[in-house]
Every structure is written in C-alpha cells, then in structure tokens.
Chain A
C-alpha cells in the first residue's frame, strides 16, 4: 500500500493501452478516468486498483487488483487457479471453499485484501508430487462426485471437517459437510469418502 501512487499510474497506463486496443468505445471512459485522477491528486480513490500479496499454496503471489476483489475472484481471474468454483457468490453453496490458516472459508465472501498475510490452501495445493491427498483418493474410490463442480469445495471442506474432529461418526460427517451443496447428490458417497480418509489424515 505504500506504493499507492505508482500503482495508480500503472493502472491508468494499462487502461490507456486497452483504449488503443479496443477501439473508440473506450475513449470517453478513459477521458473520464483521467479527469478524476486530475481532480484528486494524491488522495486515495477507492475505485483504484491496490497491490495485494496473497500467499497461496505456499507461494507469495503479488497482485494489482480492484479492492473489492474476493479471494475467489483473485484466484480464478488473476492467478489462474480455477479449481475453486463460483456456484452462488453468496456463501450459500460452498463450491468456493478454501482453507485460510487451516480454517475452511467460503472464498467468495472473503476479500482478497483481508487475506493478505494469511496462508491460503486451494484444491491445487492439496496433492503433492503427483500423489493424491488421502481425501482426494477417497473421493475417487467412493465415487463421491458426478459433475465434479462442487468437488474442490467438498474436498477442502472434508479435509477441515476431519481436522476439526467432526468426522467421528456418519451423523457428524453429514452434519458438518452440510455447508457444501452437491446438486448431483453424491452425499452418501461423500460420507463414505470422508470416513475412509479420516484415519489417514489424523495419523499424518
């Protein structure tokens, strides 16, 4: 954030470049943006992009994004990590679930700015060296998905469910996995998968 002025100017340059690329439709808008910049020299315009560093799957990622960008959109639109899915953008479906400092979080309701300095783990960060994580393997073994769209969120949620100590019984698993909607309704298989993976995850 200390680098506010340069970030603003780089944002402006990018837009001016786009105006050239995209044709006349852009020109009035660019003019308006320039006028705003001139009107408020030095002041922090909330609509201007900000610099954010997110730590995703163990790596620092520097971003220059709209301050309103959610963790989900930062992952999907800016970091090309599209494993986390947008199913409602309202925190109602769980398809965007990621781990932030090992807690399961709906990334669509978390601003990227608010996640700065925290450890974000996505579905892409779960498997290591071509070996599936025990929960991923359990989802394969138990056919715990059909269309697969909710699956990354289910798996991240399931990993946290086990670590929270909520995988002790089938009833517990069902209850604590109920924040993740699966419209194909693979639910009984998801319960079986969590049950299979739980001992291995607790061990390791």
Chain B
C-alpha cells in the first residue's frame, strides 16, 4: 500500500483508486474544450483597457480585414439578453455587470467585443486589431482609493443575515486582565484553475448544448435559459470532467449567454477559449479583506471578550461578501462577543467564492490573534486552544454535533514533534536558517443540499448511477460509485457513474464542501428504494417488508451501520420474483431543516445549502489542526516551509485516498495563501498587474518538500445519512496563520499582512 492509500480506520471506507484514474492518465478524460464540434467558428474576446468610463466608438476596419473573420460583436450589434440577478438575490449570476449591453465600463478587463472567425488564429489576430476609443474616468481600486463607499453587509446582502453578538463585549473587554488589539490584511487572489474559462455552444434547432467547466450545471442551464428567454428544458450543460473549480465555476458568468446567443445568430457552433489573463477579469476572485480583532482574557487564558470586525471589497453594483464572523465568533468559548462585517465598493469585477471563502481570510485574523494572545499570556498556543475549547457555540448556545478539535491538535502535535519546540522566538536555528514552529486551528461548516439521483440495477449486478454532480478533482465519481456498491452489495467494478450533465437528475452546486454529504445521502436513499422493492418481491408480507426496511437501514443512520445487512440480497432470486430484468429508482433527498421549496429550487438551479451554524438546534463543523515548520534565511530572508502537518476529523471518510489527496492539496493551498499568492492591483488604473501564471505565484513541486495528512476517525450521527462532513475546504484554512505564527517564532517578527515575502522580513 502506498502513502497515497492510507489504511482505513473506524468509520472509513476503502482507499480504492479513482474511478476516473485510467481516463485521466491516458488523456481520454474529456473536458469542455475537448468536446468535438461540427465545423465550429472560434471566438476571441476583446476586453476593456480602462476600469471606468465609456466606450466612444470602435474602429473595426483593420479587424474586419483579417482573413477568416466572420463577425465582430460589440454593444452596438450584440443580441439582446435578459438580466440575471446575483445568485445571492435569487438569480444565477456571479455578477450583474452585463457586458455588451451598453457603452459603459464598470471594471478593467470587462468584455467589450467578441470576434468570431474561421480559425483561432484569425480570431486572435483580429481581436488584437480592434481599436477602441474611450472616455475614461478615475477608478477606485481598493480600500485606500478615494471614491469608494463603505456600508454594513447586513441589509445589503441577503445571505448575510446577522453580525453575531452575545453578552456585553465593551464591558468585558474593558475589564479583561489581558488584552490584544490587532489588525490583519489578506490580499486579492485568483483561483487560476488549470482549465481555462472556455465555453462551447452548439444549437440543434431550438435546443442548445453548452460545453463549459461548471461546478453547477443546473444553475448554469437555468441561468443561461433565463438570459436567452427560452425554456430551461431546451438547454443542456455537459462537462463530465472539470479542470479544477475552487469556486470559480460555481455561479454563471456573462460569457456563456453571450456565446450562446452569437452561436444562435450565426447558426454555427462557437468555441471560446479565453486567455489566462482574461480569466482574471471575466470570472470571479477572492477579494482583499482587512480585519480588526480584539481579544480580552483572564490570566488563566480564558477568553472573556472577542470582537471581530471585517471589511471586504466588492464591485459597485453587487454586494458580495463572505462574512466569516459567523465562524470566528463561534469557534471558542467566550461569553461576550461582538462583530461587524462591512462591504467596500470599488470599480472592480464582482468577487466570488474561492476555496473556503469565509474561513481563509477570517480565520487568518483569529488564529493569528490567538497566537499573539498566547505570547502575551506566556502560554503554549495549543494549551490556549484547549482552555477555550467548547462543546457549545457561544452565540446561540447550540451544541456541536461532534467536535474533535483538540484530538486533532494532539495527534498533529505528536506527529510534528511540537514538544521539541523551544518557546522563545528566535531560539531555534540550523546553520544560516532561523527555524520556527507554528500552529493553528482549522474548521469548516458541514453543509448539505437537496439532491436527486437515478439508480438502475440489473440482474447481473451491473449498476448505473445517474446524477448531475461534478467531478472537479474531488473524487466525486469514486465516492458515489463506492456508496452505491456498498449500499446495493454489488462489486465496485460493476458500478458505472454518469455525472456532469444537466439532463441527469439534479445535484447541488459542487461548493461549500457539500457534495459528498449530499450526493451520497441521495445515492444511499435511492439504493435503499431498490433494495426495498427487491426485498418485498422475495418477502411480500408486511412484517417482512418492515424487517427488510430495518435491515437495509432506510432511516437516517450512518452507512457503516446500515451497510451491515444481516442477510445479503440474492439478486437473481429477487429479480426472478419481480419478473423484471432491470430495477430502476429515482429519488429526491433533502437534508433535515431544508426549506419547503427545496426540491422546486433544486430543479430550478438554486442550491439551498443548510448546515453549519444555521441548523435548528445544533451546529455542525469539521475540524483540524495544522503545524508548520518555517525556515527563514538569516541573510537573504528567504522563507521556506519544509514541513506541513495536518490532522483532520470530518465524520465518515468515504475514501481515505481521495480525502488525503484533497487535504494535502488544501495544506499546500494554505501555504500558498501565506507565502505566495496575491493579485497585485495598479491603484491608478484599478488593474490586475500580474495576470498570468509566471507572475501570479502558485506553488510548484519544489515548494513543498514535506506534507503529512492525518485522518482521525470520527462518527457523527446528527448531520446526514452519509455521516459525512465534507473536507474539500477544510485543510487550506488556518495554514496562513500557522505560517505567520511560525515566522514569529523563527524571527520574533509578527507579520499581519499576507502574503509574507522576503522583503517583509526585517533584519
């Protein structure tokens, strides 16, 4: 067994290889832009060179003269599209800035023209020959720019419902024996999935097929239909494989309906492959944030007062925010809490989800502050977390369904060798390298959403699972196949899974780490429907049916228990009794506490996620602890992170192999958010400067010599039938704080602004 396939512990499935492994290593896995089209024309985007102002006119003579150009679409001749509201306001869109609608420019890099040509090369050349005259206005780029407006998130973003508070923060902070006030900044970041933001559209009569990497095919289908003003049943989104999402493909971007409408107008399939730099402005990103944390504690380390104020940048028209105070105000026991999230509007494209949207910036602030408080208290930072560990969240007093935070700290500390740390800053060195150890907590809400699935079982055990889920690299095919095989009692190799197609039964957005919990709960339920039918055929009396019901675990129990069927089903006997060759069942599952309109919303492309702090009488989170070793060169100030160790507990682990890989990638993402990633903004022009993969630094192989993932066994019977908490967004939270805490330990210098580069290290 390789390191990639950890031995399963209690409440873990088998670490089987990925369902899609062979397709992915042979090049047979087809991503959106790999799909064959019949005689396509090629689209190339022209984007705005100013961030604010108006287009006075185009000179297209040169561009139209390029051999092979078919059409050039600008706001002057673009097909009219209906508006879609922001996803958080009941729509589908990730931005309400609709390009090609008017001469107005709302942000740098906005789409202002689409060139269509016979070849990619001709479209590109013509796009470069499009001449634009503008009347520019001075844009506001970010926090420090004149002309921004700031207002509380509550009241302007429908999904931000409260600024959590409890007790009397002001009084408690005033009276606290030990106090800390500190400010923290996180930068703009772009997802940069490896697959570009491509879109291909082909019409067959009135029916549209869209090939586009999406984390939500039902949302995209319904959103594009709304913009085109056609029946959603005429739109099909297909993407059996997605080349990374990280949140960037969760909501609809304007490009899709534009390409679809041009394809309709020209009566020809159109393929758009935008450039990497265009991806920085035609999709979403993680906005920069800034925070003030105030902590008050007793000498014993017990938190008495906590206040977290956060500010986030958004675009002029859209009040997007991540609002991570919902998590940071509930992580530790504290009787007096206050918080405020504000949105700062600038002349930017609308930001959106990026892997662990609220937790990455907000836990950076809190977990850095906890380390600073530990220093003030002269206390081990792990012990400070232990003292403030809790079984109930402090805002509403609701119990955590399960919480293995300290178990994670203890396991990870042991594996890391935390006891070898000498507490004083600058006290550990290895030659020219100052050595620092740091740690931080991580957590991520357990979320679920309604999901449907169709399962077909044949007499010979062959099984087909159909669900419009998404394989963005998480292992979705694999865990769905494992769940169906386990639940039906058929060999894994007999299970075929079909996903990434909006003609299949709806699954929720592949975001918020809800996919495994939601889709596997639905698969379990529908497999149970099949088993029930077969059992009833063999044992038709009511009591036996009830017995069967009990045996197959139709109620909401974790699959480990339910799978322990005391009598394996004799498929051939059951099929003979039923007198059929195939049994097929369709079902719709929804989580406890899902709103009444959940299923209608599910079919309409709106994912109603429930979970986290928003559950009725409980709160559900996955937890982890991360330890890092940082080395800072005494002379060059080069910063290295040779060791990352994380321990995680996330309910049932369906596949330890895919889980470990995702957490490992998450740890590396976390390191990257601390030391590498930032989109630099030219303040004068509100423009992203380093919009390519050479200048926007992401980790390469040489950056990550040592990563260790420890999976803790945890069982939680209070979340969903699959018993799954979700972990795709767990490991990259807190790592940024752990690294800054380790840099403090190595150098004695506290750095509160990310990313940390060698120029930020003082002598």
Contacts and interface: CB of A to CB of B under 8 A. Distances in A.
Interface of A: 15, 18, 21-23, 25-26, 28-29, 32-33, 36, 47-48, 65-66, 68-69, 73, 76-77, 80-90, 92-93, 95, 122-124, 126-127, 132, 136-137, 139-152, 155, 170-171, 173-175, 177-192, 196
Contacts of A152: 27
B693 A188 contact: no
B541 interface: no
Nearest to B33: A86
A151 to B, nearest CB: 5
B204 interface: no
A179 B472 CA distance: 23
B595 interface: no
B497 to A, nearest CB: 15
A147 B699 contact: no
Nearest to A194: B701
B241 interface: yes
A140 B27 contact: no
B657 interface: yes
Contacts of B706: 188
Contacts of A76: 33-34
B701 A190 contact: yes
B399 to A, nearest CB: 34
28 contacts: A22-B268, A23-B267, A25-B71, A82-B27, A85-B31, A87-B693, A88-B692, A90-B694, A92-B276, A93-B194, A123-B26, A123-B27, A132-B25, A140-B21, A141-B2, A143-B18, A146-B244, A149-B194, A155-B25, A173-B701, A174-B705, A183-B244, A184-B665, A185-B664, A185-B668, A187-B700, A189-B3, A192-B2
Contacts of B66: 47
A29 B22 contact: no
A86 B25 CA distance: 16
A184 B2 contact: no
A132 B22 contact: yes
- The dominant DSSP class at the B interface is loop
Nearest to A123: B27
A85 B34 CA distance: 9
Contact of A85 (B41, B121, B194): B194
B334 interface: no
Interface string B443-487: 000000000000000000000000000011111000000000000
Contacts of A180: 700-701
Given A132-B26, A143-B657, A93 B70 contact: no
A125 B33 CA distance: 20
Nearest to B122: A66
B415 to A, nearest CB: 15
Contact of B474 (A28, A68, A146, A196): A146
Contacts of A123: 25-27
Contacts of A25: 70-71, 266
Nearest to B669: A185
A127 B23 CA distance: 12
A122 B27 contact: yes
Among B64, B195, B241, B694, chain A packs the most CB atoms within 10 A around the CB of B195
Nearest to A139: B25
